[in-house]
Structure 1
Amino acid sequence: MRAPTAAGPTTPMEAAAPHRRLTLAGSVLGAVIVALDGTVLTIAQPTLQRELGASFTQVQWTSTGYLIAVASLLVFAGRLGDRYGHHRVFAAGILGFGAASAGIGCASGVGWVIALRVAQGVFGALLQPATLGMLRAVYPPDRLGMPLALRTSAIGVAAAAGPLVGGVLVTHLGWRSVFFLNVVPALVLGLLALTVRAPARPRTGATGLDLPGACLLAVALGALVHTLVGVPGEGSTAGTVLGLFTTVGAAVAFVRRERRTTDPLLPPGVLGSGTVGAALGALVAASAAMLGTMFVSSYALQDVLGLDPLRTSLTALPGAVAMVPAAPLAAVLLRRWGARPTAFLGMGLLSAGVLALSRIGEGTSTVVTGGGFLLVGAGFGTVMVTATTVVVRDVPAESAGVAGGLQQTALNIGPTLGVAVATTVIGVSGGVSPGPALLALTCGAALGGALCLRLPGRGAPTRVDSPSVRDHEREDVREP
């Protein structure tokens, strides 16, 4: 408790409020920085390629290297946050992310850009689970919905503004400016995070890091992402088959170790939870459908309808904009209806949007197309808030980092899976129409809807095996 002031003693509830606001601001802004970085990079890559004399493959690795690094380390980074504190890991991640961004802005060749993008992926892996772990540490499980909704809305704003901001910066200041954009906000957020002290909570259960298990999981996830990223360019090759065998072998070895070790990377309460598994599966299905749809539709709008890149971006803009109101609305519905009907509604909207976009062709109205994107964005925002809330609140607070790492892993694997499925279907169908690929993505979203039926309904008990922040506050209030 804080020391009494002239106006009287400060209650624990009042003392917690500023800390919660700072934590929420850090979580939201940290997620926005990562989202902006990814969207503005796609705008900067063509100019970067020309000025550095890089090949297309080298430029592709500025994205692939980052994806592999971040996907491989997210769960382990979440465990680091559980053990050493999410605010500390968040500070290390955001400061390192900003430093790597500054280094990329000063890079003299594409080799340095690729290496620093991999480093940026490592720090991004530290940062992303911590943005969720911090919220779980300071908000009671029944109050997580709206903070997560605000975080999702901010990501939607970043997704909408990213291409526009990137286009202005690259046009007037050059490609390096999009990386310098992160530096000052990252520095400020990192320093603020170091000044915040999270509420103390008892440590329970295992506290080890399980480095062998972390390595096996990193190999499995890294091989999976690398294989999926390579599918559009390589198709079914020996490299793809080898990548899949590596993924399966490392995953089997990881599961065997987790079952035998006394200090697993994934606690039994997380690994054995059917609810968490269903929520993660829904996130993979939703993100695969959305990003796969955006990938296919962007080509269809330009190749079939003849739109230029700017008009294509404006036509797809309703999808990002719809996420902004959909996220807080999902939080309200989650409290009233429960996770199962809310997530199922979101997946239904997403499926309807993808199905509408599958009819893109000559004479298709931009209004109809924009409506399809709007449904996709609204549905994805709803599923993301609902499933993320289930994943984060349904585990003990001491495993919140691992849960956050799993959620972020799902959101990294889903898009690569969606693009891989779409490009494979396009290749098989001859690439004449986007319809078959988008129908395949609609089927994937429908499978995600089936997983949503396994989520808890209204009034279902929350699976939490440790006291919440509110419990500690109530205990403090009862103290003399």
Structure 2
Amino acid sequence: MPATPDAFLKHAQVGGVLIGILARRGRIGWRRGHRFSLMERDEILLNLATLCFFLTIHSVAPYLSQYAVELGASEGMVALLGPFFAFSAMAFRPLSGFLADRGWTKWLLVAGASISTAAQGIYMLSTGVSMLYAGRFIQGAAIAIFIPASFQAAAIGERDRVIRSLAWRNTITGVSFALGPALGGYVAQHLGYRSLFMVSTSSGLMASILALAIDCSRFSQEPRSSRKGREEGFAERGFLSALASLLLYSSSYSCMVLFLPAYHKENGLETSLIAVFFTAMAISSLISRILFTQVIGILSVEGTALAGVFLASMGYLAVSMNPLSEGIVYYGILTGLGAGLAIPSLQVIAITGIPQGRRGMASAIYTAMFDLGNLTGPAIAAIIAGNYREMIEVASYMNLATIAPLAILGIAKIRGTRSH
């Protein structure tokens, strides 16, 4: 399967067509009569800001390790890109969750997008790996501030409303995941890495502007929660299972994002194959995210999560068997289909059992598993394995282990149902 510039354009066009289809379905209410609805307007702005923010991330992430190799980084130095990112993200997430629960959501969104823009500027000016580390540290802070706030904003309301909002949020992030690698790969291959960072800087600026336009009263309502709900808190079984599964999945994914592109670079392969791989994964993930609400009606949320992580695990195992083959594109499709079902399912499992007034902090704790995965995954793989190929194999085993917490949750629910 040859990877050409036309392939990148086709993937971008597919993403645009999917956005158009979603808009024509009428689920995004642009107008009521001749006036904008405040709720719809702010939801649209939130989703657009989220789209631009994640485009900033996904257009750069698959190629940063390749840029580090070009700057002379070794395997160990590439592995450190994850921990620098994770340390700062873990430090700032609790503060973000605390402030989101107290009505600061809009300003957290603005601050996160602005700090992310600054990180792209550091990447662009980098002359050595040390500056990339600085950029990753700042990027981690940006993600820690923005993502819990956007997650909490989508988690306002009752269960059905939260599921709908999270489904839209996941669709939007899926669009960015589909377009980002295609856009980033095309720019990096034909215009260079510095041009890529210029594009990501522009996307970050746009996210900041859109977040500024949101009416903050939309997210500063006094949350309603019962004393009983507050006592149950974060020890809820579903919340803990979702945390464990997300930790294992993010550990695996961070290893794949770092080590697969670096392994290709080490073996002289062009950027285009990695771009097509991640884009194929992203487009298939977007498709399954769009179908998410229909699937959970058939399998239940827990069943959908289990099916998703199983498909993703099979895809990663197939990639690890022959990482340099052009066939990884097809395995990426399988992985994406699984991830598109697993990620929103885990979010619903984690957040809907938490009282409204604590969902900001819950979002921070839940999304911190991404940081912990970024911190521990590459480090563990680098310790166990001696080269990029073996690190990719370790990543596939981490993903397979993601099934365990969900299987335990499912067994516990079945036993609980029988006891009643």
- Bin for the TM-score computed over the shorter chain: 0.7 to 0.9
Give aligned-pair identity as a percent: 20
Equivalent pair of 1:349/1:375 in contact (CA under 8 Å): yes
Could you tell me which residue of structure 2 aligns to residue 470 of structure 1?
none
Partner of 1:445: 402
Give the superposed CA RMSD: 4.1
Deviation sequence 1:374-410 (CA, Å, 0-9, x none): 2222112211010112223332232222122122211
Q: How far, CA to CA, are the matches of 2:390 and 2:130 in structure 1?
A: 37
Shift of 1:424: 4.7
Q: Could you tell me which amino acid in structure 2 is paired with residue 179 of structure 1?
A: F
Give the match for residue 22 of structure 1.
45
Contact in 2 for aligned 1:43/1:163 (Cα 8 Å): no
CA distance in 2: counterparts of 1:140 and 1:341, whole angstroms: 21
CA deviation after TM superposition for structure 1 residue 132, in Å: 0.6
Counterpart residue number, 1:332: 294
Give the residue type in structure 2 aligned to 1:180. M
Could you tell me which runs of 5 or more consecutive residues in structure 1 were left unpaired when the two chains were aligned: 1-6, 207-266, 461-480
Show the counterpart of 2:16: none
**Paired residue secondary structure (1:201):** coil
2: distance between equivalents of 1:433 and 1:96? Answer: 35
Superposed, which structure 2 residues align to 1:112-261 within 5 Å?
114-137=133-156, 140-171=158-189, 173-195=191-213, 196-199=215-218, 200-202=220-222
Q: Could you tell me which of 65, 69, 84 is aligned with 1:65? A: 84
1:30/1:275 CA distance change after superposition, 3 Å: same
Partner of 2:233: 270
Contact 1:27 1:132 in 2 (8 A): no
**Who is 2:93 aligned against?**
74
Deviation at 1:61, TM superposition (A): 5.2
Are residues 333 and 115 of structure 1, via their aligned partners in 2, closer, same or farther at CA, if it must alter by over 3 Å? same
Question: For residues 299 and 115 of structure 1, what CA distance do their matches in structure 2 show?
Answer: 20
Structure-2 separation of matches of 1:365 and 1:185: 32
Q: Which letter does structure 2 place at the counterpart of 1:16? A: M
| Structure 2: gaps (5+ residues) | 1-31
For 2:113, the equivalent position in structure 1 comes to 94
State which drifts further: 113-122 or 385-394: 113-122
Per-residue CA deviations over 1:340-362 (Å, capped at 9, x if unaligned) read 1111111221233334445439x
Q: 1:244 aligns to what?
A: none
Amino acid at match of 1:441: M
Match of 2:5 in 1: none
Aligned residues of 2:245 and 2:406 also touching (Cα < 8 A): yes
Distance 1:403 1:299, change over 3 A: same
* 1:372 is aligned to 2:331: yes
Q: Deviations over 1:195-248 (max 9, x none)?
A: 423335225689xxxxxxxxxxxxxxxxxxxxxxxxxxxxxxxxxxxxxxxxxx
Does the CA contact (< 8 Å) of 2:223 and 2:357 recur in 1?
A: yes
TM-score under structure 2 normalisation?
A: 0.73
2:217 partner SS: coil
Contact persistence 1:284–1:411 (CA under 8 A): yes
Supply the distance in 1 between the matched residues of 2:280 and 2:34 (Cα, whole angstroms): 49
Q: Which amino acid in 2 is paired with 1:278?
A: S
2:15 maps to what in 1?
A: none
Partner of 1:259: none
Taking the aligned partners of 2:50 and 2:224, their CA distance within structure 1 comes to 25
Larger CA Rg, structure 1 vs 2: 1
Shift of the 269–85 alpha-carbon distance from structure 1 to 2, 3 Å rule, reads farther
Q: One-letter code of the match for 1:86?
A: T
When structure 1 is superposed on structure 2, of 292-301 and 96-105 the one drifting more is 292-301
**Aligned residue for 1:258?**
none
Asked if 1 retains the 8 angstrom alpha-carbon contact of 2:113 and 2:146, the reply is yes
The 3 A distance-change label for structure 1 pair 365 and 24 is closer
Amino acid at match of 1:279: A
Partner of 2:8: none
Structure showing greater relative contact order (alpha-carbon pairs closer than 8 Å, 6 or more residues apart): 2
* TM-score between both structures, scaled by the size of structure 1: 0.65
Structure 2 Cα separation of the partners of residues 161 and 8 of structure 1: 33
Q: Distance in 2 between matches of 1:37 and 1:168?
A: 11
